[in-house]
Amino acid sequence: MGVGDRMTSRLSRLRETQRARSDERFAERFAHQWTQIRAERQQVEEVPPTIDAGPTNFSRAQVPWAFDLAAAWSWRLLVIAAAGYVVFYLMAMFSVIFLPLAIALLIAALASPVVHSASKVGINRKLTAAIVVVGGLGAVVLLLTFVGTQVSAGFSDLANQVVSGLEEIRRWLRTGPLQASDSQINDYIKEAQSAITSSSEQLLARVTELGTTIGHIVAGFFIVLFASYFFLADGSRIWAWCVRLFPRAARVRADESGKVAWRSVTQFVRVTVIIAFVDAIGIMIVAFILKVPFAVAIGVLVFLGAFIPMVGATLSGSVAVLVALVAHGPIVALLMLGGVILVQQIEAHVLQPFLAGRFVSLHPLGVIVAIGMGVLVAGIAGALLAVPLAAALNAVAQYLAGYTEVGDDPEEAGTPDSSTAPPGAAGS
């Protein structure tokens, strides 16, 4: 091997060595740079991201003020209507309990002045309440017994008069302007008999429902009896428990509103009793003058029916017209109808404006609307309870409106005295 070859091989080895060193340096430089990049990335990831805040871009919808006010009223009215529907639904579901309690509350409103007066004298309140309840029950039983005796004593005569009256009607159909033949009259009688028979079959098919109804009536009677006693004896404690259900800040106004409502209900019951008594006496006097049978029984029926305002006395007075028609014919029936209308006119134009307008402060139109709504919601029971409920709500609304206008001072707002307390509240 010559000198040139050795030089060439040495140069080639030198180049390979330099290339190897260059590759090692490049690898070291790349590894170092990669390490720096990884460290920088780790530092960036450890720093939490920042959120740039700025002014909000939310703005209220630009609607007219009238629409805004209407929407606010609408959703509140919907909530109130839903709550009222739930309340009425629960009351209808438990009507066997709520209706006797409401009747017992009206009885307590009527008898509470007697119990309160006796407690002022020093007689035990619970003993007085028991005497009032038992005495009232005895008076009702004696009154119904007397009426039943009167009806049973004259029932046979009335039945004979009904038969003769039917014969008169049959003769009038034959000889009157209709000139009906005997076959047509018999067909009418058969249709009436078939209608009565079909209704009797329906009644027989509902024997179970009738038994259930009788059971409800018996249970309601005992609920009324015991609830009346406890309302009269422990009314203040019951009302105090109800007031404690309200928030502490609202208990004073709730207590005063309850007293105002109780005073309105008490005045309504007293006015209703006076009007019912006048209606019964007036119609009974007319029945006595016309010699209509069962005059006393008709007076009792009118007295009980008059507790349904505006329409009760008229409906019960129609019974007197029917009895007069059966007993004495159409002329006396027309005179009896005129007497009933006269008594109702005296009630509508004298007693109602003077008593109800003065002591209850409820307009006759409001009475009619309340009765209509009560009939639609709960039938006869609703008509009986609608007016005192409306009177109580009207009194509470007027009181709270006056309370808000005057201020938060109960003395400036005219705080009711103890005579306006709920049943028994004044005497305990």
At residue 181, the pLDDT reads 59
Residues of the chain with confidence (pLDDT) below 70: 1-5, 41-49, 52-54, 56-58, 60-61, 150-213, 308-313, 352-354, 356-361, 403-428
Give domain limits for the chain: 78-153+186-245
Nearest to 321 by CA among 306, 304, 301: 301
Compute the C-alpha angle 137/142/145, nearest 5°. Answer: 125
At residue 138, the pLDDT reads 84
Yes or no: say if 388 and 370 are a contact pair by the CB < 8 Å rule: no
| Contacts (Cβ under 8 Å, ≥6 apart) of 423 | 105, 108, 109, 112, 231, 232, 235, 236, 238, 239, 262
The beta-carbon contacts of 344-347 under 8 Å, at least 24 apart in sequence, are 344/279, 344/313, 344/314, 344/317, 346/278, 346/282, 347/275, 347/278, 347/279, 347/313
Helix (H, G, I), strand (E, B) or coil at 114: helix
At residue 394, the pLDDT reads 85
Look up residue 120 and give its two tokens: 């002022």
At residue 79, the pLDDT reads 94
3-state helix, strand and coil shares in percent for the chain, rounded to the nearest 5? 85, 0, 15
At residue 13, the pLDDT reads 77
CA distance 102 to 383: 13
At residue 194, the pLDDT reads 61
* Cα 278 versus chain centre, distance: 29
Tokens 């078939």 sit at which residue?
194
Look up residue 111 and give its two tokens: 């008898």
CA distance 217 to 196: 26
Amino acid type, 268: F
CA distance 91 to 84: 10
Look up residue 248 and give its two tokens: 């502490």
Nearest to 338 by CA among 293, 282, 278: 282
At residue 32, the pLDDT reads 76
| pLDDT single digits (tens) 364-412 | 777 778 877 877 777 777 777 888 888 888 888 888 887 544 444 444 4
| pLDDT single digits (tens) 297-329 | 788 878 877 776 656 667 777 778 877 877 777
CA distance 322 to 304: 18
Look up residue 216 and give its two tokens: 């409800």
At residue 288, the pLDDT reads 87
pTM for this one? 0.62
Query: How many residues are present in the chain?
Result: 428
